[in-house]
Amino acid sequence: MRIGLLVDEMGPSLDTVVDQARAAATAGFSGVWLGQRTGRDALTALAVTGRQAPGIELGTTAVPTYPRHPLTLAAQALTVQEAVGNRLTLGLGVSHRHIVEGQYGYSFDRPARHLREYLSALVPLLRGESVSYQGETLKAVGAVDIPATAPPSVLVAALGPAMLRVAGELADGTITLWATPAGLTDHVVPTITRAAGRGEPRVVASTFVCVTSDEDDRRAWVAEHFGMAGQIPSYRTMLDRSHAAGPQDTVIVGDETGVERQIRQLFDAGATDLIAMLLGPEDEQARTTELLTDLAG
């Protein structure tokens, strides 16, 4: 199983992020992933941490597209790719209306159109090609010249059918959040696979994982801290497709046997990778890490 670990990029210091990434590599996780929220820049942090976490995938989940022009993001991503020895996976997404319009001041009109135009410019740039692209909302003319750097894999945080079709056609796969096995097998996997029309796109499922005897308490914590996600349209639709009342119904919690069974159900539903977000006190996180690394094998 390909099991990666989400490292908290909002930690108390960048040194803490580096230490956690190094520990994940040592433990045997397949990859380290950083989110992009209101703190450190995920790509910059990966450039710093990558050399201290050798031999594993380094990913973002997910860099928002709107505030970064494709030429700018291509230059940044390829610089990170050079710094970490071609181990970067660039996870990106359109974010949400309340962020794009409320914080950035951009229009969130037809985000799937924006994503298609963005990837149409970005992906060739990551391959080192010169582009002259003019879409309805985006223009990109030029190239990024960083010799001897392989193009990073590109994944899209896509949940709805339009976004999944774009991800399947123009990217290497998707990163999901708040998706259960039912949501993957009934919606995500068939939609992106049909759109890809080639091979098997990556379906990277990210979720909280906790080996615990206090399952109700852990679900209650997720409901308290992430319950508002259920009011965001793209997440609400994914939760409905996953037959989940809220994010708390999508997490993987229980004893070792139960957690292993739930993880296997995700992979049986079509997930190619799991990004585990650790939950609970230190002793439970240690038990969870031991089980996850055993499964990653």
pLDDT in tens, 55-82: 999 999 999 999 999 999 999 999 999 9
Task: Please say if the pLDDT value at position 179 is more than 90.
Answer: yes
Tally: H helices and E strands in the chain = 12, 12
- Give the pLDDT band of residue 297 (cuts 50, 70, 90): confident
How does DSSP assign 113-170, residue by residue?
A: HHHHHHHHHHHHHHTT--EEEE-SS-EEEE----TT-PPPEEEE---SHHHHHHHHHH
- Reported pTM: 0.96
How far is the C-alpha of 295 from the C-alpha of 276, rounded, in Å? 12
Please say whether the beta carbons of 236 and 178 come within 8 A: no
Separation CA 260–CA 293 (nearest Å):
11
Task: Give the residue numbers spanning the domain of 54.
Answer: 3-296
Can you tell me whether residue 76 is helix, strand or coil? helix
pLDDT value of position 10: 86
The share of the chain scoring above pLDDT 90, in percent, equals 94
Total number of domains in the chain = 1
pLDDT at 166: 98
The four Cα atoms 22, 24, 26, 30 give a dihedral, to 10 degrees, of -120
Decide: helix, strand or coil at residue 21. Answer: helix
Beta-carbon count within 10 A of 160 CB: 17
Q: What is the pLDDT of residues 270-291, one digit of tens each?
A: 999 999 999 999 999 999 999 9
Query: The domain that contains 204 carries what CATH number?
Result: 3.20.20.30
Q: Is the pLDDT of residue 148 over 80?
A: no
Residue 51 has pLDDT above 90, yes or no: no
What's the rounded Cα separation, in Å, for the pair 84 and 22? 13
Please enumerate in sequence order all residues whose Cβ is within 8 A of that of 106, keeping only pairs 6 or more positions apart, or say none. Answer: 66, 67, 100
**Whether residue 23 has a cis bond before it, omega within 30° of 0:** no
